[in-house]
Amino acid sequence: MTIDTVQRVAVLGAGSMGHGIAEVTAIGGYDVAMRDIEEDIVREGYEQIKWSLGKLDEKDQIDESADEVLERIETTTDISEAVSDADLVIEAVPEQMEIKEDTFSAVDEHAPDHAVLASNTSSLSISSIASATDRPEQVVGLHFFNPPVKMDLVEVTYGEATTDETAEIAHEWAESVNKTPIYVRKDVHGFVVNTVLVPFMEEAAWMLSNDETTVREADATMVYERGYPMGPFELNDFGGIDVAYHFRDESGQPVPPAIAEKVEAEELGKKSGKGFYDYEDGDGVDYEPEDSGGYDALRTEAVMINKAAWLIGNDVATPEEIDIGLRLGGSFPEGMCRRGDRIGLDVVLEKLESLYEEYGEERYDPTDYLVELVEEGWTGEDAGKGFFDYRVDPPYHYINWEIDDDGVLAVELDRQERMNSMSEDMFAEIDRLLNDVDADEVSCVVFEGAGDRAFSSGADITGFTAGEPTDIMDVDEMFQTVYEFPRPTVAKIDGFCLGAGIELALACDIRIATEDSTIGTPETNLGVIPGGGATQRLVRLVGEGRTKEMVFRGMQFDAVQAEEWGIINHAVSDDELEELVGEIVDDLVSGPPVALKAAKQVINDGPEASLEAALAMEKQAFAVLSTTDDMYEGVAAFRQDREPQFEGE
């Protein structure tokens, strides 16, 4: 069986996860049968899908109408009817092993022999679930994150008997419904994301239990000093304190008293109205920046990095998969392998050894792989290698790029989990790419954002809160590199283009956007000002008055107004974007490289000089170009009424 043979999918369970997976499946173009044990549950799940699709349709976030997608969804309470002609069955029933085993036993009886059987479990053993069937080699984990429609990550988990063919089909299918799958190559409790993420919450709870921190101190430090989207206690409350409790309890590991006490008191977080914060009679999450400091952030991060090293050393996942999982599944600003390489693995190891000596707890015992890396001198980025190799071909974590046969360098900003907000690493990667690439092999550069929501929503402000002012000042170097790149650059804008996003676009030579894209400079609403050139490049485009209004008011408006003001070249419909960008790129590719380079330099440098000096620069460039082979080819082609073939000489 291959992915091409997957035509029909059955989803067992119509609750929040089940109906979400069914919706994702139908949006992906598959026929899907959604089944649950009671008609009322199925009907409620279907209505939730209908409502969600209506919202997506209103926002133009699906390619078809809501009705067209709904036509691919059938509902039933009969398990045989649901799975009898399914090529892929995805189970999303309650997280109880007995229920899952009963479900898989029934599926095994009624599903076609070729069908792949998948479980959406977040922590239960795939091997145990598979043992309820006579085809354990065709059973795999497909762990979606909640809510499935919005969360991009899917963990594809092997059981002991799962074949590579089965896992590959599941992986390719997840990609086909526009999700980002990662392999979990061994059936470990917590898979990849929870193995590394749970200690983020748990270590803080141990410290609270030992009177070594306070709730607000821990949360404020991890958010305002370390850049995480939520503090550990805030995250506990958000996900449900009982979830963290059961994760530890089910694996036979000790539970921090601070968590156990909350569960015993039925103070489970937001869903119960009270947890580590009071959401009914109090102010809810109320920590402030001044609460930060004093919390041992390295202690938490060292335990998480140690867990990541354990996953790698035991061939469960690669550093890339772990970091993608933490970014997409946990909304972390960067993965823990990358963070470990930044901190220094020797620093992490020293911290763990100190903690192990003091507390003697298993979670502080350094994993063999971490020890091996440090002993070999591979301590992270500064050493040239750690979890990642930075020596010959350093990895790109946040941009995707390729050069096609025409020399078009396509650069995709890829932090979809944060609407392509720009971190320090992304700034550095763009700068490195443009400095390392052979400009003579490039005809033009096209920047765009991954996904369909944003070109870039701006700088990741949480990532800069921990930075030194002198480091933050360096981010302007990337924008200047783009501005001065010797080949034409194009910003292809679809969605939000704010802050650092518009500054990248302003550094480009040509800007094209969909009409409903949002353009703006909201920095003053955060108490700062644009720091990547917007105050200066906007003045040169739209004048002092409009620039001051935009910046002072933190204005955001659609691309139509941005075109009227002269900020972008073209505002077009969604359907026209690809075509217009293609036309512009075709002209740039077929244009004379030397002349385009000279034109860009003269246009860029001219405003900084007097008119007399600028005209002299133009005249000098014209004189030099008039002696090139490209000029003779252009004249000959004109006289012969044919398209010129410029060689860049």
Candidates 53, 145, 35, 27; CA nearest to 90 is: 35
CA 237, CA 255: separation in Å to the nearest integer? 16
d(CA 353, CA 464): 30
Q: How far is CA 297 from CA 6, 327, 347, 433, in A?
A: 46, 19, 13, 32
Please provide the distance, in angstroms rounded to a whole number, between the alpha carbons at the two ends of the chain: 54
Sign of CA dihedral 49, 52, 54, 60: negative
Angle at 159 between CA 155 and CA 164, to 5 degrees: 80
Among all chains, which residue has been given the structure tokens 């997840």?
174
Q: Give the C-alpha distances (Å, rounded to integers) separating 308 from 153, 264, 339, 387, 552.
A: 18, 31, 11, 10, 45
DSSP assigned state of 630: H
Question: What stretches of 387-457 adopt beta strand conformation (E)?
Answer: 399-403, 408-413, 444-449, 454-456
Q: Which residues, in sequence order, are bridge partners of residue 73?
A: 32
User: How far is the C-alpha of 561 from the C-alpha of 564, rounded, in Å?
Assistant: 5
Measure the CA–CA gap between 590 and 444, rounded to whole angstroms.
10
Helix pair 297-313, 345-359: axis angle to 10 deg: 100
Residues β-bridged to residue 153: 180
**Rounded distance, CA 630 to CA 396, Å?**
36
Cβ partners under 8 Å of residue 360, min gap 6: none
What is the arrangement of strands in the sheet containing 116-119, beginning at the earlier edge strand? 73-76, 31-35, 8-12, 88-91, 116-119, 139-144, 153-158, 180-184
Q: Contact at 8 Å (CB) between 89 and 12?
A: yes
Rounded distance between C-alpha atoms, residue 550 and residue 449, angstroms: 23
**CB-CB contact of 519 with 562 (8 Å):** yes
Q: Which residues are catalytic?
A: 122, 143, 155, 194
The H helix count followed by the E strand count for the chain is 28, 18
Peptide bond into 147 cis (omega under 30): yes
How many CB atoms are closer than 10 A to CB 172? 15
CB 393 within 8 A of CB 445: no
Tell me if 72 sits within 8 A of 30, measured CB to CB: yes
Cα 540 from chain centroid?
Answer: 34
| DSSP secondary structure letter of residue 278 | B
